[in-house]
Structure 1
Amino acid sequence: VPYGKLPMLLIGNGERKLVSSKPICRYLAAKFGLVCEDPFDDAKCDEYMDSLRDFCDQFRPLFCNKDEDYRASVLTRLETSVIPRYVGKFDAIIAKNNGTNIVGNKLTWADAYLAHCLWHFSTVLKIDFIQNYPAVTNLVNHVFSIPAIKDWMEVRPKTGW
């Protein structure tokens, strides 16, 4: 495994390897038409997804520490500061754009990635924070109503991730 970490995408017979979430997402997005036609819009997708990574990193202490008091303090900070700051910003961006997509007028990898991450943390932590943000709710519902995604969500293995 290059760099000693996952995720890793094996392409072809495995002779081509791509490591790390963002390059894998960008590759698959280009392959399946989920990138923007305008290079600036593509860069905005990268910008928003880097901010999403910063948001996701704030949750790491919940999964790396067993001390319940510490976890409770982290959860309080997430609910009162981190979630409103980041998800509120994403909500405003989506609302200003078109109310359904974070960039442009068609589904992009950024929409799918954002919907998955927000749904995941909301589900794992059992905090329905998505409902407090109407444009985010609209984006998440839109992504998860796509027939192929909806079908997969119904049959996929149930895991903590």
Structure 2
Amino acid sequence: MSQKYKFLYFPMKAVGESIRLLFHYSNVEFEDVRVSNEEWAKMKSEMPWNLLPVLVVDGKHQLSQCLTIFRYLAREFGLVGADEFETAKCNEYIDAMDEVRLDVLQMFRESDPAKKAAIKKNVVDNTFPKAWPKFNGILKRNGTGFLVGEGVTCADIYVAYMVDLLTGFVEFSTMSDYPELDDHRKKI
């Protein structure tokens, strides 16, 4: 019996989009509930951890926390690699990319323009130049066009989506220095 999924998130891409991409890539139907701010104010106290996203499975089980949902669905949909080591490598690459995402997220949490500019400068001068060569090298060494193994895994979906999203926020224009990563982002 197939499971029924309902995914609750705000009407934006952000971290929730990586989960939507798993559904779409896997051709799994789901109810995509885009929660307005007004609706959220009414339902927040009923959600685990008082946060979105939330995944409801079969109308009764609720799962919260973006990466928890992402990893759960990746396992359900067979996108975690061929063995336990490949699953661990997928998790390593997802966690490394999430550290990059958290660095960029600081810009949106800062209201002081000077501090925000300093955070952006750090992301452009340090965060991306530290992370992008690592991911580029992983792709080059694997030689398949994917981060882990021979085909698409959850790591590919998360990393490609975040590279696209984050470089759009920060207008990082030197992706040409990382051709494998840029090709991977476009392909995925």
**Which residue matches 2:128?**
83
2:109 is the counterpart of 1:64? yes
For 2:106 and 2:70, how far apart are their aligned partners in 1?
25
In structure 2, give the amino acid aligned to 1:121: L
2:50 is the counterpart of 1:4? yes
**Is the 1:65–1:71 Cα contact (8 Å) retained in structure 2?**
yes
Gaps of 5+ in 1: 144-161
Q: Deviations over 1:16-70 (max 9, x none)?
A: 1111112211222122221212110100111111111111111122101122211
2:124 is the counterpart of 1:102? no
For 2:159 and 2:153, how far apart are their aligned partners in 1?
10
Worse-superposed segment, 133-142 or 120-129: 120-129
Residues 105-144 of structure 1 correspond to what in structure 2 (within 5 A)? 105-143=150-188
For 2:181 and 2:161, how far apart are their aligned partners in 1?
11
**Which residue matches 2:86?**
41
**Is the 1:99–1:135 Cα contact (8 Å) retained in structure 2?**
no
Shift of 1:72: 1.3
For 1:6 and 1:21, how far apart are their aligned partners in 2?
8
Q: Deviations over 1:72-104 (max 9, x none)?
A: 111111111111101111111111112511111
Pair 1:129–1:57, CA change in 2 (3 A): farther
Partner secondary structure for residue 122 of structure 2: helix
Aligned residue-pair number: 142
TM-score of the aligned structures, taking structure 2 as reference length: 0.71
Identity percentage over the alignment? 27
Higher strand share: 2
**Which residue matches 1:147?**
none
For 1:37 and 1:99, how far apart are their aligned partners in 2?
15
For 2:144 and 2:164, how far apart are their aligned partners in 1?
18
For 1:52 and 1:25, how far apart are their aligned partners in 2?
14
**Which residue matches 2:22?**
none
For 1:60 and 1:123, how far apart are their aligned partners in 2?
13
In structure 2, give the amino acid aligned to 1:16: H
Gaps of 5+ in 2: 1-46
**Which residue matches 2:138?**
93
Larger radius of gyration: 2
In structure 2, give the amino acid aligned to 1:77: N
TM-score of the aligned structures, taking structure 1 as reference length: 0.82
In structure 1, give the amino acid aligned to 2:180: A
In structure 2, give the amino acid aligned to 1:88: P
